[in-house]
Amino acid sequence: MKKNYDVVIVGSGIAGLYTALNLSPRLQVLLVSKRELTLNNSSLAQGGVASVLDTVHDSKEAHFRDTMIAGGQKNNPDAVRILVEEGPDDVRKIMEYGVEFDKTPDGKLHYTLEGGHSKPRIVHHKDATGREIVEKLLLQVKKLPNVEIMEHTLTACVKKGKDFHFDLIRGEEHFHVNSHFCMMASGGIGRVYEYTTNSKIATGDGIAFAYEMGAKIKNLHYIQFHPTGFANKLTRETFLISESVRGEGAYLLNCHGERFMQKYDSRLELAPRDVVSHFIMKEEKATGSNEFFLDISYKDPEFIKNRFPMIYQNLLKEGIDMTKDKIPVYPCHHYLMGGIDVDLNGKTSIDRLYAAGECSHTGVHGNNRLASNSLLEGLVFSRRAAKEINRLSDLFDQEFEEGSFPEDRYTEPCPHGFRTETRNIMQRAYFVNPNLEEARKGFEEIKRFQQLLENGHYRLDMDYVEAKSLTTVAYIILKEVLTGQDETVK
Ligand SMILES: Cc1cc2nc3c(=O)[nH]c(=O)nc-3n(C[C@H](O)[C@H](O)[C@H](O)COP(=O)(O)OP(=O)(O)OC[C@H]3O[C@@H](n4cnc5c(N)ncnc54)[C@H](O)[C@@H]3O)c2cc1C
């Protein structure tokens, strides 16, 4: 391992990997992942990637329109235009890298439909699209001689002066490295909630690091609650029952086994996610029961097993056969639309700090992401950021500043409980709809946690970094909810 790199990429999801693939081979790059390289939200993506590859039956204009409607017209139209115009080439590019999408019997790409899309335009690899993409892109990144990869390596990052300084912690080992550029591709914040579809890594670390550096954070309360997480009665670990199950015709039923979306929205089960989640909560009030189900058992069992092999298997493990049984579902946290604010080239408000993927706020999603637009966003804007870094890295001297890392490290372990308590607070304060009274109480409690963590002199490890990240994220979300401000700078 070197001491100095041109670029450090935090994250091995779609945004981190595609950044690495688009950086110039003359740049020395380090890519880090705090757990296994494939443990991230990207690998969990089921539904697919939305993009208009077939301009005969579909149009980029329609994709633009659908994205803006789902986002409540709160999207940045320039970013959406770039997404829909440039996205198809990135999808073709990853197919060149070996990513395989499902085909129809006559060998053409199979396009599926998800909520909010006016045309079937989503390419997918059965129901495990993200895993296919991450595995194939990772194979390509591993071939790059200029990119070093560190797995199971927790990063904490600061910027003092021009350059970035990283603490890297791998088991008992502790390293320091510097870089001229930093790409945050550190993913979402799902673990700030009790009920989430997100991977364990989704604790908002990159957002917290950027906030500490003084970067502008935007719309962190723009959170998508998915209507159909598997309602696991035994543990809080949930998994997603993809929107494409409804896309393929599944009915959403209340506790009486009745469809109810017709009471609320003419788009029925395929209304955008926030709308369906919202009406589930309304129906819960109407029936007095939190029991909801998806039912696709009227379809051919072979079709179901072949179209949704991963969901089918996951459900079987829970004792549910989706070809015969109704699937218990309930809303859960799913996706973050806000994040570290970036321009159209992924640049944050901090010099040479870039962000892409779920930790970033490009404005593409408005206040609600259109299904399957996030993998596409990860591709398009990480590529643009990488190109910008390539261009800028030619323009300044290559001398590195030495980082000032404290020699005497604290050794006391961070007490347990901060993460769990933060989750409980967020679940009460802002789940689908904000509860202002709980938000007020929770905000005071979170500020207290932050002080304890700040003054506690705790060892730099996973417990401490994640506790700090989750409390920072919760602080910003609740502040936005309570003040109505959409931007936060430390
Ligand atoms: C269940 C599920 C299904 C989804 N389905 C779809 C879909 O069908 N279509 C779609 O478009 N989107 C989907 N999404 C959303 C999409 O998968 C994500 O938004 C996207 O993949 C995020 O990619 P990313 O690269 O930004 O982050 P991630 O893929 O989450 O990667 C983050 C990386 O950052 C690393 N990291 C974080 N903090 C640190 C740290 N402190 N030190 C070192 N490394 C760190 C992690 O280890 C990880 O490697 C889905 C999401 C989920 C959870």
- Here the CATH number for the domain that contains residue 465 is 1.20.58.100
pLDDT of residue 265: 95
Domain that holds residue 52: 4-221+337-393
Taking residue 45's Cβ as centre, other Cβ atoms within 10 Å add up to 27
pLDDT of residue 406: 60
Ligand 1: does its nearest atom lie under 6 Å from the Cβ of 346?
A: no
Ligand 1: does its nearest atom lie under 6 Å from the Cβ of 16?
A: yes
pLDDT of residue 405: 65
Relative orientation angle of helices 374-393 and 129-142, to the nearest 10 degrees: 20
Identify whether residues 239 and 312 lie together within a single domain. yes
Identify whether residues 10 and 106 lie together within a single domain. yes
Identify whether residues 317 and 343 lie together within a single domain. no
CA of 235: how far to CAs of 192, 194, 231, in Å? 16, 10, 9
Identify whether residues 375 and 423 lie together within a single domain. no
Number of domains composing the chain:
3
CA of 289: how far to CAs of 28, 285, 325, 465, in Å? 56, 7, 19, 38
Q: How far apart are the first and last CA of the chain?
A: 33
Exposure string for 131-142, b = 16+ CB within 10 A, e = fewer: bbbbbbbbebbe
Asked if residue 412 belongs to a domain, the reply is no
Provide the annotated active-site residues. Answer: 273
* 40 Cα: distance to centroid of ligand 1 (angstroms): 5
Identify whether residues 63 and 149 lie together within a single domain. yes
Identify whether residues 19 and 135 lie together within a single domain. yes
* 448 Cα: distance to centroid of ligand 1 (angstroms): 30
Asked if residue 214 belongs to a domain, the reply is yes
Ligand 1: does its nearest atom lie under 6 Å from the Cβ of 40?
A: yes
Identify whether residues 38 and 171 lie together within a single domain. yes
Q: What is the CATH number of the domain that holds 184?
A: 3.50.50.60
Identify whether residues 427 and 351 lie together within a single domain. no
Mean pLDDT of the 31-59 span: 96
Q: Which two tokens stand for residue 309?
A: 């092999």
Ligand 1: does its nearest atom lie under 6 Å from the Cβ of 157?
A: no
Is there a contact between 360 and 339 (Cβ–Cβ < 8 Å)?
A: yes
Asked if residue 404 belongs to a domain, the reply is no
In one-letter notation, the amino acid at residue 364 is V
Identify whether residues 240 and 374 lie together within a single domain. no
CA dist., res. 242 & res. 208, Å (int):
29
pLDDT of residue 245: 92
In three-state form (DSSP H/G/I as H, E/B as E, the rest C), the secondary structure along the chain is: CCCEEEEEEECCCHHHHHHHHHCCCCCCEEEECCCCCCCCHHHHCCCCEECCCCCCCCCHHHHHHHHHHHCCCCCCHHHHHHHHHHHHHHHHHHHHCCCCCCECCCCCECCECCCCCCCCCEECCCCCHHHHHHHHHHHHHHCCCCEEEECCCEEEEEECCCCEEEEEEECCEEEEEEEEEEEECCCCCHHHCCCECCCCCCCCHHHHHHHHHCCCEECCCCEEEEEEEECCCCCCCCCECCHHHHHCCCEEECCCCCECHHHCCCCHHHCCHHHHHHHHHHHHHHHCCCCEEEECCCCCHHHHHHHCHHHHHHHHHCCCCCCCCCEEEEEEEEEECCEEECCCCCECCCCCEEECHHHEECCCCCCCCCCCCHHHHHHHHHHHHHHHHHHHHCCCCCCCCCCCCCCCCCCECCCCCHHHHHHHHHHHHEECEECHHHHHHHHHHHHHHHHHHHHCCECCCHHHHHHHHHHHHHHHHHHHHHHCCCEECC
Residues in the chain: 490
Ligand 1: does its nearest atom lie under 6 Å from the Cβ of 168?
A: no
pLDDT of residue 424: 96
Identify whether residues 183 and 302 lie together within a single domain. no
Mean pLDDT of the 425-454 span: 96
Asked if residue 247 belongs to a domain, the reply is yes
Give the residue, by CA position, lying nearest to ligand 1 atom 21.
Answer: 42
Asked if residue 402 belongs to a domain, the reply is no
Residue 402 has pLDDT above 80, yes or no: no
Band the pLDDT of 110: cuts 50, 70, 90.
very high
Mean pLDDT, the chain, rounded, equals 94
For residue range 186-201, what is the model confidence (pLDDT) as tens digits?
Answer: 999 999 998 899 999 9
Where is the domain boundary, 331, 359, 375?
Answer: 331
* 211 Cα: distance to centroid of ligand 1 (angstroms): 19
For residue range 440-465, what is the model confidence (pLDDT) as tens digits?
Answer: 999 999 999 999 999 988 999 999 99
Taking residue 236's Cβ as centre, other Cβ atoms within 10 Å add up to 12
Band the pLDDT of 377: cuts 50, 70, 90.
very high
* 361 Cα: distance to centroid of ligand 1 (angstroms): 14
Band the pLDDT of 105: cuts 50, 70, 90.
very high
